[in-house]
Amino acid sequence: MIANADGRVDAARYVASANCDERPPGEAITLLVVHSISLPPGEFGGDGIVRLFTNELDWTAHPYYRSITGIRVSAHFLIRRTGELLQFVPCTKRAWHAGVSAWRGRSDCNGFSIGIELEGADDLPFAEPQYLVLAQLARALCSAYPIADIVGHCDIAPARKTDPGPGFDWARFRDSIK
C-alpha cells in the first residue's frame, strides 16, 4: 500500500466527497484519528456511510437520519468490516471528520490530521480484515507524512465522542504497526 504525492492511496477505491477544503498553508499532517461509524447505527454493509460522505443520504430513509439531517461530514478513509478500503478525500486536503477538537494544545484537528473511519460501533469488536487493512494503511501514511500520534476520536473530543470505543483493541493495533 502506497500513499502517493497527490494524497491518494493506491489500494483504496476512490469516491470523491465535496465535504473538504484546503489545509491551512504550511500545515504538516501529524495526527491520525481513528473513528467508528455505522449508518443506521449498529447496521453494517449498507450504503449509508458513503451516501452521508457524498451528500446523497436520503434523510427520510431511516428514523435516525432525521437527527443528523443536513450535516456535511467526511473522512479521508473508510475501512469496511470486509476490509474494503475507500478513500473520500485526498490526504493533502482537510476532511471534515473531527469537529470541535483539540490535541496537545492545538485546536481544529481537521487541519493537521487524517481521519480513518472503521465501519463499526463503539461496543462491538471490529473485524479481523479491518485490523489488517488499518495496519497497512497506518504504515503507508506514516511513511508518507510526519505522523507523530495515532489517537481515537474520543481522545480529541472527549466531551462529545466515544469512538472508536471499547470494542477497538488499541494494543493489538499498536503492535501491528511496529
CA distances 47 to 51, 119, 137, 165, Å, are: 6, 11, 22, 22
Q: Is the pLDDT of residue 126 over 90?
A: yes
With 90 as the cut, is the pLDDT of residue 136 above it?
Answer: yes
Distance of CA 124 to the CA centre of its chain: 17
- Write the pLDDT tens digit of every residue in 55-75: 999 999 999 999 999 999 999
Class of the domain covering 13-176: alpha beta
Question: pLDDT digit string (tens) for 21-56?
Answer: 999 999 999 999 999 999 999 999 999 999 999 999
pTM of the model: 0.98
Close Cβ partners of 67 (under 8 Å, ≥ 6 residues apart): none
Question: CA-to-CA distance for 25 and 111, rounded, in angstroms?
Answer: 10
Catalytic residues: 117
